[in-house]
Amino acid sequence: MSFDPKALRAEFPLLMLAQPPLHYLDNAATSQIHRSALKAMSDHDMFQRANIMRGTHRLAEAATAAYEDARARAAHFLNAATPDEVVFTSGATAALNLVAHSFGDTLRPGDEVMLSLAEHHSNLVPWQLLRERRGIVLRFLPLTADGRIDLAALADMLTPRCRLIALTHCSNVTGAITDVATVVAAAHGVGARVLLDGAQQVQHGPVDVQGLDIDFYAFSGHKCYGPNGIGVLWARGEVLAAMPPFLGGGGMVGEVTPEGSTFARPPQRFEAGTPAIAQAVGLGAVLAWLSMLPWRAIRAHENELLRRLLAGLRGRSDIRILGPVDLDARQPVVSFDIAGLHPHDVCQVLDRHGVALRGGHHCAQPLIRHFGLDGANRASIAMYTTQADIDALLDGLNDVVAVLR
């Protein structure tokens, strides 16, 4: 399959319809939605809208089939052993909270969970809450000077009490990709499980959870060209089967009496109530589309733009790049600081040039503070990003300095 980023933009309605033209570089926060997802959701709600699982009329059966087909497509995208390992959630945050509550309920006081100082708050705060509820111990891997997780410290920090290592697959601040193989080998050495927060990785291609040899994987639909309000938790079948339910309600039970209830098998055990059916169908459609793309060509395109962006930023004496300044083991997410200028002001000036950038702490305050800052600017590249988008940002920085200094 050929790949043309300019032609690809026609498949993302907002990018084509925006007036004035939009240079969208906020993909790490939310990517634009692909037309396959929009069509799938629209068709579902127009032609087969009904509640799922328990209905016996034809609309309910069609809706159930579409929902389960979406689960199968997510399983294919992740190379899961079976669709029953896929739990639909409202997003990566909900998926991580589900693990912290359900798997967390199997932990005892003194058990350890290892995180890093590079985590998004969604993979930090739930574990802090679990510490308060269950008396577990949190250990934090330190960071290298360029903001990567310092895995050299892993062996010395691991103890036989470690039950889980929960890390970002790709940093939402620096773009650094975690060396998963090293983490998994160390975790297996002490019998610990491994969870990856994949929110920033999945928009850059399918993930092989079996090949990674991990136990949990979480991601959001809205960061991989799909709908808001839907996400995925993947977990090994035997791990899910041993976890108690997180939320109670319809659809996740077997028999209910005043004295107690029995619970459904996974994944239904973790999908209480009416789910986001249309959003799941939309996510399934876009994951099927993503699974067919020429990812080698897409990665080459993204790296070419990343190289251009890094060179342009490094060429300015007033700009400091946070994180790696090369293309090694990273995705095209670049955060930077302009000396003396607040990120929110920078983003507002760039918006005059049609450049959509993110400014703030990016829900990763420990990592931002590692660099001695309270916030930073962030540009994030997607498959539909073009050279014109990068050039608009670099040219706009001249106006930023002229206006704000």
What φ, ψ does residue 275 adopt, rounded to 5°? Answer: -80, 180
**Contact call for residues 255 and 248 (beta carbons, < 8 A):** no
Look at residue 1 in the predicted model and tell me its pLDDT: 59
Of the candidates 390, 400, 403, the one whose C-alpha atom is nearest the C-alpha of residue 338 is 400
| Three-state secondary structure readout of 249-308 | CCCCEEEEECCEEEECCCCHHHCCCCCCHHHHHHHHHHHHHHHCCCHHHHHHHHHHHHHH
Cα–Cα distance between 347 and 345 in angstroms, integer? 5
**What structural domains does the chain harbor?**
5-25+294-404 (3.90.1150.10), 37-291 (3.40.640.10)
Per-residue model confidence as pLDDT tens digits over 205-233: 999 999 999 999 999 999 999 999 999 99
- Least confident residue range of 50-64, 126-140, 189-203, 351-365: 50-64
pLDDT at 385 over 80: yes
pLDDT averaged over every residue in the chain:
97
Annotated active-site residue 170? The verdict is: no
Bridge pairing between strands 193-197 and 376-380: unpaired
Of the candidates 354, 284, 302, the one whose C-alpha atom is nearest the C-alpha of residue 34 is 284
- Residue that the structure tokens 């690809």 belong to: 8
Taking residues 171-183, what's their average pLDDT? 98
pTM: 0.97
pLDDT at 181 over 80: yes
Per-residue model confidence as pLDDT tens digits over 253-295: 999 999 999 999 999 999 999 999 999 999 999 999 999 999 9
Q: Reduce the DSSP state of residue 395 to 3 states and report it.
A: helix
**Contact call for residues 317 and 26 (beta carbons, < 8 A):** no
Per-residue model confidence as pLDDT tens digits over 369-382: 999 999 999 999 99
